[in-house]
Amino acid sequence: MVVFKRLDGRKSEEMRPITAKVGIIPNADGSAMFSFGKTIAIAAVYGPRLLHPQHMQDPQSAVLRVNYDLLSFSVSDRKKPGPSRRSQEISKVTSWALTPALDLKEFPNTVVDVQIYILQADASTRVAGINAASMALAHAGIPMKNLVCAVAIGKLDKELVVDVDKNEEDFKEGEAATDFPIAKLANSNSYTLLQMDGNIQPNVVSKAIALADKACEKIYEVQKKALKEVVESQ
């Protein structure tokens, strides 16, 4: 088979340069930045704090409340500020992706607010947001069983690639572009986010997941390092 060339010269399994920083928003109880190449996500955690209105409280656990959105100038065509159906859906699936890592039973009737914003979008924004939020939750000292690591696997025609960027998302040849964001608890067999758009054969899915596993191992190391840095500097 011909070796597939990605537009920016990366190898199929190569992610864009990853950067992560913890403790970027002094007001927040926990905060972090995560970026895949030009995609930059920041996240802040506030809480656990008393949840109002009272009828939304859970007497057995804290409630995780996630808000994901693009800042208006993070995309080519200005995004109208305020929630869209897309951002509401991503907020929800992000909350589902993070919850299995958390132990919220210690904080009944409270809410843990996770605010995720994209400063600059070059695809893979929801997974960058999940990686940032996972670090911010740890930074806030919320009891966690594990970190959550996320990456978008792509399929361009028949070739699987790791960490899709915007150019790749717009790929139109052959079987065109497939975007397959995946999140998991680090170093585990627990997948907490699976979404997909495009064209992928059922027997290719496990190959995509194996690629995500490898990428998530690297992401986990970067997340741990960023968390250690902030602890050591204090």
Which residues bind to other proteins, rule: CB under 8 A? 56, 85, 88-89, 92-93, 96, 99-100, 180, 184-185, 189-203, 205-206, 209
**Residue showing tokens 């690297």:** 218
What 3-state class would DSSP assign to 130?
Answer: helix
Q: Which is nearer to other proteins, 35 or 94 (CB)?
A: 94
Describe the crossing of helices 125-139 and 85-98 by its angle, rounded to 10 degrees.
Answer: 50
Q: Which is nearer to other proteins, 54 or 206 (CB)?
A: 206
Minimal distance, residue 86 CB to other proteins, in Å: 8
Beta bridge partners of 21: 33
Q: Which is nearer to other proteins, 68 or 180 (CB)?
A: 180
Q: Which is nearer to other proteins, 30 or 181 (CB)?
A: 181
Distance CA 162, CA 154 (A): 6
Minimal distance, residue 209 CB to other proteins, in Å: 6
Minimal distance, residue 23 CB to other proteins, in Å: 28
Beta bridge partners of 118: 41, 70
Alpha-carbon distances of 230 from 24, 144, 184, 186, 227, rounded to whole Å: 10, 18, 24, 20, 5
